[in-house]
Structure 1
Amino acid sequence: MLHSPRPFHKITVLIMNMLQWISAIQSCSHTMTKKLI
C-alpha cells in the first residue's frame, strides 16, 4: 500500500476535480439567481 500511492493519488485528484466542479456549479447558480432576481 505505502509503496504504490498511485491509486490513492488518482482518488485524491478525482475528489479535487469533483470539489472544483461543485464550487463552479454553485457560483454559476449563484450568479443565475442574482440575474433572475
Structure 2
Amino acid sequence: MKIDEPNETTYKAMESAQNNEDLYGPFDSVKDLMSDLF
C-alpha cells in the first residue's frame, strides 16, 4: 500500500507543531517519555 497524501490527523498534528501547540518533551530517557504516555 502506498499513501501519497498524509491523512487529516497527520495534517492537524503538523499544523499544531508549527504553531508550537501540543508539544511535549524533550525527554531525558525512554522511561520519562513512557511515564508521560500513561
Higher relative contact order (CA 8 A, sep 6+): 2
- TM-score if structure 2 supplies the norm length? 0.37
Question: Larger C-alpha radius of gyration, 1 or 2?
Answer: 1
Q: Which protein is richer in helix relative to its size?
A: 1
